[in-house]
Amino acid sequence: MIEVSHLTKRYGSRTAVEDLTFTVESGVVYGFLGPNGAGKSTTMNILTGCLAATEGRVSIDGFDIFEQPIRAKARVGYLPEQPPLYMGMTVREYLAFVARAKGVKIPALDKELERVTAVTGVGEVADRLIRNLSKGFRQRVGIAQALLADPPVIILDEPTVGLDPLQIVEIRELIRSLGRDHTVILSTHILSEVQTVCDRVLMIHRGRLVASGTLASLEEQFAGKVTYHITVKAGLLEAREALEAVPGVLEVTAGETGADRCTLAVSVSDPGEDMDERLSFALSDRRIPVLRLEREQASLEDVFLALTQEADQQNAGKAGKGGRRHDGDL
């Protein structure tokens, strides 16, 4: 549905997005993930034709956003980071304006407005001035605006920022429901949002794509790094000796140590199910009481931290060799 190839955006000497290449398939909810200033908004602005790229191509449903902007834009609904709302208009007036500007003909207008207000739940505030709406409703109106004229692609830039927890849940449900018949790309720096809403992840850091794929595949890549947190009622040396004897254990590091108990972090190479048993048997064989045994799978957070640190180290390495790099951090 969307093809991005070798996209680069420079502001003067600062590079905000560097050589970004990815493909977005239709009917999938994508999470565009990255820390603040990673280049998410810049990329989204380019995808929607609001910003020109320095290099690279973007095609939406086969139409190049730079060469056939009108046709490409007609296929995208966009909610920028700050919803572009005219404060002095009522919700109905505003949506009617956007619909007409998007080419919805007058006979079809009422039906289209009805459809969009029903989906986003802004019907009850339809005749109120946007100025007087709460942030949650403004966000909804912003999403409603993106949905008008029924574009196949919906791009939402940080749609849940600044909302209260209840509103966040509602907006996420709304996005999930949109995902049923639209291609949705939403940007966020909140990992749990990606976990609850998205099917696939595009991770971006300092303007570069560091990882992409389904949630499961990303977690699997890092599944080798399973860590156990074990608290035992015994001395540190004794416990460590017992654990290090277990086949498959890579490293045992000491955590907190109390008067008669200690906590250890055990990283293992073989994350098989019987590892739990082997560890607990090894301890009970030596009559060491286990107070807690917890298996920690690499979460999306870990994946993200690992990837961004990796990228930073690479950058630092290159900079050290004399090749100065400009990165997209604000």
Partner 1 sequence: MTAIYERELDSQLNGLTGYVFGALMLLFGGIYVMAIHLEGAVDFTTVLASLTFIYLIGIPLLTMRSVAEERHQRTDQLLYSLPLSMTKIVLGKYFALVTVLAMPLAVICLYPLIVNALATSGAIPLKAAYGAMVGFLFLGMALTAVGLFISSLMESVGLAAGACFLVMLLLYFLTPLTSYISSSALTSFIAFTVLAALLGVILWRMTKNGAFALVFAGVLEGALGVCYALFRGKFGGLFADVVGQLAVFDRFDSFTYDIFDIRSLVYYVSVTAVFLFLTVQSMERRRWAS
**Residue ranges in contact with partner 1 by CB under 8 A:** 11-12, 45, 48-52, 69-71, 73-74, 76, 78, 80, 82, 84-89, 93, 97-98, 100-103, 145
Specify the residue, 185 or 218, whose C-beta has the smaller distance to partner 1.
Answer: 185
Closest separation between CB of residue 163 and partner 1, Å?
18
Measured distance CA(222)–CA(194) in Å, rounded:
17
Strand partners, 183: 153
List Cβ neighbours of 200 (8 Å cut-off, separation of 6 or more).
28, 29, 30, 31, 212, 213, 214, 215
Task: Choose between 149 and 303: whose C-beta lies nearer to partner 1.
Answer: 149
CB 291, min distance to partner 1, A: 55
Side-chain half-sphere exposure of 36, counting CA atoms within 13 A: 3
State the minimum distance, in angstroms, from the CB of residue 48 to partner 1. Answer: 5
Q: Which residue's CB is nearer to partner 1, number 48 or number 117?
A: 48
Residue identified by tokens 């190479």 is 269
Q: Provide, rounded to whole angstroms, the least separation between the CB of residue 44 and partner 1.
A: 10
Q: Shortest Cβ distance from residue 88 to partner 1 (Å)?
A: 6
Nearer to partner 1, 96 or 232 (CB): 96
What gap in Å lies between CA 321 and CA 309, rounded to an integer? 18
For partner 1, the closer CB: 97 or 222: 97
Shortest Cβ distance from residue 95 to partner 1 (Å)? 12
The least distance separating partner 1 from the CB of residue 226, rounded to whole angstroms, comes to 45
Backbone angles phi, psi at 149, to 5 degrees: 70, 10
* CA dist list (Å): 238 to 151, 194, 294: 65, 42, 20
* C-beta closer to partner 1: residue 38 or 266: 38
| CB closer to partner 1 out of 88 and 289 | 88
265, two tokens: 């972090």
Alpha helices in 200-273 (DSSP H): 215-221, 236-244
H helices present in 48-190, as ranges:
69-73, 91-101, 106-120, 135-147, 165-178
Q: How far apart are CA 30 and CA 200, in angstroms?
A: 5
